[in-house]
Structure 1
Amino acid sequence: MATDWLGSIVSINCGVTLGVYQGEVSSVDHTSQTISLRQPCHNGVKCPVSEVTLSAMDIKELKFLDIQDTANKCTSRQGSATEPSLISAGRHGQDNRSTHSHATNDSSHSSAAPITILRRVPAGLSNSRGAMHATPRRNIARNGGFGGPVRSKDDECFGEGTDEDLDTDFDFEGNLALFDKAAVFSQIDGTSGHTNKAQHHSTQTEQKPQSYRHDENILEGKPVIYRQITVPQHGGKEFCTDSGLVVPSVPYEFHKRLLGAAERWGLSLERRLETIGVCSGQMALSLLGGPNRLNPKNIHQRPTVVILCGPHIQGAQGISCGRHLANHEVEVILFLPNFVKMEESVTSEVSLYNRTNGVQVSSVKDLPVSPIDLVINCLDSHENPLLREQSWYQSTADWANRNRAPVLSIDPPANGQPQTVEAKWTLSVGLPLPLAESQSRPYLCDIGIPKLVYQEVGISYHSPFGCKFVIPLHPA
């Protein structure tokens, strides 16, 4: 009688663990208590094997979806001819492994012997996901419940093309590597228009909008005017900033006139000294290494700076710089001769400097012999160039040239003569002076002169400093 069911389409519910199998009955083995399905589907997904054998112990419910030769098998059937017949299979005790199947609404099989099936796993299917030991990965309720009718759209969605191993993770990187982006865009360009590729590329380049950095303004403005400073008396040299703005130099006499006008409006000498001291001190701290050198965890490597000052305003500017450096935990050694007449500004700055932990010496013999971190030169004077001929000045300049430390000159004079102390950096104030040709790198310091003060002396002025108080200059 088992051969009568061959070719029937059945749906076998094997419980939550194994799921629902659907397929065509290919064989029923009474001896081994197994039933085999051809072209099986597991939970609505086509199995990767052509045949699956199930044991009677795992069958919870069996439904016939289509039976061949219905007229010979069913003498009387309630409902329509396409209504499926139901065969229920269950266990009768733990020790009894036989399963009795009763055909409902089927008089021809009401007295037939029950199908007794034992568990058997074919050797060829022992490692297959289509075997009865496979663990379902989908919720059965979402696939139409237990033993639901097979619909045509299920075959279209889950029929062909799903034989790959579902346990394998999708390789996104490998799949992306298969996509040839250049070839696809080349094909699009070739099919969308029959123009020359070179012309198409040039058109795209012309139409491509200009890209901006995060700190650039995307709004279009007026063309930039790089010559924003004009002076009535030119010093003969021009410089430019990093952004391209032109900064002309002025003669010393005109520069002195500018400082006099600023002093009349309240920018006194004391204010200028303080501003120059702060700006030059900030530049010196950057040259010493900035936060990489000056931090609480690096106190055993405090930098040493020697400041060489003369008894004049330029020397007072250097003393102000030394005070600010000493306040920032820099070891400062101040050289200032005590046997020459000093200006009042120098005396007041020395009194403030002595309130720090800085060291003051008046003899070249007391200067360090070993190399130091930085030398700040403020020996030269704009008003008295004869200081260069004095012995103390020459011996101090010789010490600075012998020491291997780099030199920063603050507000050096423009007298047409080469620098006595070879400096690596020079810092001018307000507007640069036409310094003699040297290998030093010029910098400019903003000392806070208002714009209307520049206009008073005939200078058309727009600040070139931007967000900084000290900027580098380059030969124009």
Structure 2
Amino acid sequence: MAADWIGCLVSIHCGPTLGVYQGEVSSVDQTSQTISLRHPFHNGVKCTVPEVTFSAMDIKDLKILEIRKSSTEVPKQNGPDTNSTLTPHGGRKDKGGGGGAPVNSTPVMVPNKTEPKTQEGGMSPVPHYSKRSSSCRGPNQATPKKNGLKNGGHMKNKDDECFGDGMDDVPDEDFDFEGNLALFDKAAVFSQIDSSERRGNGARSRGTPGEQTPSRYRHDENILEAKPVVYRQIMVPQNGTKEYSTDSGLVVPSISFELHKRLLAAAESHGLSLERRLEMTGICASQMALTLLGGPNRLTPKNVHQRPTVALLCGPHVQGAQGISCGRHLANHEVEVILFLPNFVKMLEAITSELALFGKTGGKLVSNVKDLPETPVDLVINCLDSHENGFLREQPWYKAAADWANQNRAPVLSIDPPVSGQAHAVEAKWSLSLGLPLPLSDGAGRVYLCDIGIPRQVFQEVGIKYHSPFGCKFVIPLHSE
């Protein structure tokens, strides 16, 4: 009855050495205990030979993939009794408990109609026990499925132990994306969204269509507010002639120079000395200057051949000492600093100490305008003006320095410039005020405000209701109202 198996598609496992073969049964010889496959596949790759013959002693496992002929009975054995029988699922059971089948054993193959079929009219190109590695797959090889059976008396394949669980539930058919998409009625859904938006006054609902939600916010506006924001949080006893506002809308009023002096005197009485204010002003001004010079795009270790050059114009007063402090911090950040300060018989102690520190940085100090660069520099920092001594503008050195700054064609940053009513000899592009701004004229350019560390209670002592407008920064821009 061996002819009943001719044409069936089978998978033969010959152990880890020989591998797995699949093919169509071409002949079964019970006398020599052999079985032959035509058009064989070895480990999922089509063999170059048209037919392969196997001995019963080499077969470790046999699985019927497809039955071409309707056989309902088990073929009877014509030979002697065998010690092993191939089960309907291809697994071998040893009667005597031995490891391998003897040479004279006859394989009895029982057809199983419950075995899943693969491709119609063809055989599965994937061996059941082939390893799931890309190196042994053919061009048409698919993902193997696990039949859940163990090899009797032999160790399970390592890939089956690691990755074989749950493979029985993989569907045979591909998911129908087009058919599933056809079930989605886009027109009805969008109509429902539009109707909900109209009921919600333009706000898109995230819940049911009839549910109304608050208006949508930008990424910087989506903040839960416990109470309305008060934008006028700084109140001064005397309304200044000018008001400014921050980027967030907070109102920053200007103060007179007399109130500004009282505020600094109160801060000094509480320990905020001139030296501490000079240091804070120098840090804030240098940070702003570094940003204007290009920041991280300009000041990098790879750009040492293009170090920026800054010219500092300072006078013999507190504003000049603030500029020297700024120049020291700039020089510490690898900026070429050229400091202009005329020779005076008597100078402030603060200027003397700042000059001593500046000399340790390697910066250049000049006392004559002729020693300033003839070519344009990257930035000019103006600290020539004083709030109290307006007669300095009549000095020859002042006029010469102002003329050089106006002719150099470099942008100008003024630190703590004078109030309105005093003409600006040097037109500035930016101006930096301290604590609270003074009512500056249009010649001061774009106004910035820096925090010099005055506590809130010090503001209250001089009659200023103060709430810090700086947020997370120490230097903020101000906009004219």
**What is the match of residue 193 of structure 2?**
197
Counterpart for residue 149 of structure 2: 143
Paired amino acid for 2:286: G
Counterpart among 40, 52, 55 of residue 53 in structure 2:
55
Bigger shift: 421-430 or 297-306?
A: 297-306
- Segments of 5+ residues of structure 2 without an aligned counterpart are 65-69, 82-86, 93-102, 109-120, 133-143, 153-167, 198-203
Q: CA deviation at 1:229?
A: 0.8
2:405 aligned counterpart, secondary structure:
helix
Give 1:250's match in structure 2, choosing from 230, 247, 255: 255
Q: CA deviation at 1:64?
A: 12
* Total equivalences in the alignment: 402
Within 1, Cα distance between the matches of 2:362 and 2:440? 35
Per-residue deviation at 1:345? 3.8
The 3-state SS of whatever aligns with 2:282 is helix
Instruction: Assess if the C-alpha contact under 8 Å between 1:7 and 1:67 holds in 2.
Output: no
What 5-or-longer segments of structure 1 have no aligned partner? 78-82, 89-98, 105-123, 147-156, 165-174
Instruction: Find the partner of 2:276 among 251, 265, 271.
Output: 271
- The 1:143/1:461 distance shift into structure 2, 3 A limit, reads same
Counterparts of 1:171-190 in structure 2, within 5 Å, are 187=185, 190=188
Question: Distance between the aligned counterparts of 1:131 and 1:230, measured in 2?
Answer: 84
Kept in 2, the 8 Å contact 1:335–1:361? The answer is yes
Q: Relative to 1, partners in 2 of residues 1:244 and 1:341: Cα closer, same or farther, differing over 3 Å?
A: same
Which of 360, 369, 387 does residue 374 from structure 2 map onto?
369
CA 1:322/1:185 → structure 2, altered by over 3 Å: closer, same or farther? farther
**Secondary structure of residue in 2 paired with 1:317:** helix
- Pairs within 5 Å for 1:383-422: 383-422=388-427
**Kindly tell me: are residues 234 and 141 of structure 1, through their superposed partners in 2, closer, same or farther at Cα, counting changes over 3 Å?**
same
Distance 1:68 1:330, change over 3 A: closer
Deviations 1:242-284 (A, max 9, x none): 3332211112222222222223333233332232222212222
CA root-mean-square deviation? 5.2
In structure 1, how many angstroms separate the alpha carbons of the residues matched to 2:74 and 2:308?
104
CA distance in 1, matches of 2:300, 2:145: 63
CA distance in 1, matches of 2:20, 2:378: 81
Q: 1:2 to 1:143 in 2, by over 3 A?
A: closer
Displacement after TM superposition at 1:367 (Å): 1.3
> Which residue in 2 is equivalent to 1:307?
312
CA distance in 1, matches of 2:61, 2:361: 99
- Gap change, CA 1:144 and 1:313, over 3 Å in 2: closer
Q: Distance in 1 between matches of 2:61 and 2:318?
A: 109
Aligned equivalents of 1:194, 1:280: Cα separation in 2: 56
Residues of 2 paired with 1:360 and 1:433: CA distance? Answer: 30
The residue that corresponds to 1:15 in the other structure is 14
Residue 429 of structure 1 pairs with residue 434 of structure 2: yes
Deviation at 1:442, TM superposition (A): 1.2
What residue identity is the alignment partner of 1:424?
K
Structure 1 residues 420 and 141, CA, compared in 2 at 3 Å: closer, same or farther? same
Asked if the contact 1:8/1:67 (under 8 Å) is kept, the reply is: no
What SS class does the counterpart of residue 393 from structure 1 fall into? helix
The correspondence of residues 64-213 of structure 1 with structure 2, limited to 5 A, is 68=72, 102=106, 130=125, 142-143=148-149, 145=151, 161=172, 187=185, 190=188, 196-200=192-196, 202-204=204-206, 207=213
Distance 1:184 1:415, change over 3 A: farther
1:161 to partner: Cα distance = 3.8
Check conservation: 2:22, 2:37, Cα contact below 8 A: no
TM-score when normalising by structure 2: 0.65
Secondary structure of 2:433's counterpart equals strand
Query: How far is 1:374 from its partner?
Result: 1.6
CA change 1:423–1:35 in 2 (3 A) is same
Distance 1:35 1:220 in 2: 83
Equivalent position SS for 2:205: helix
Match of 2:385 in 1: 380
Deviation at 1:290, TM superposition (A): 3.5
Instruction: Verify the 8 A CA contact 1:233 1:254 in the aligned structure 2.
Output: no
Q: Find the residue that maps to 1:196 and give its secondary structure.
A: helix
1: CA distance, partners of 2:396 / 2:170: 104
Q: Is the 8 A contact 1:21 1:41 kept in 2?
A: yes
What percent identity do the matched residue pairs reach? 53
Equivalent in the alignment of 2:336: 331
CA contact (8 A) 2:340 2:368 kept: yes
User: Match of 2:469?
Assistant: 464
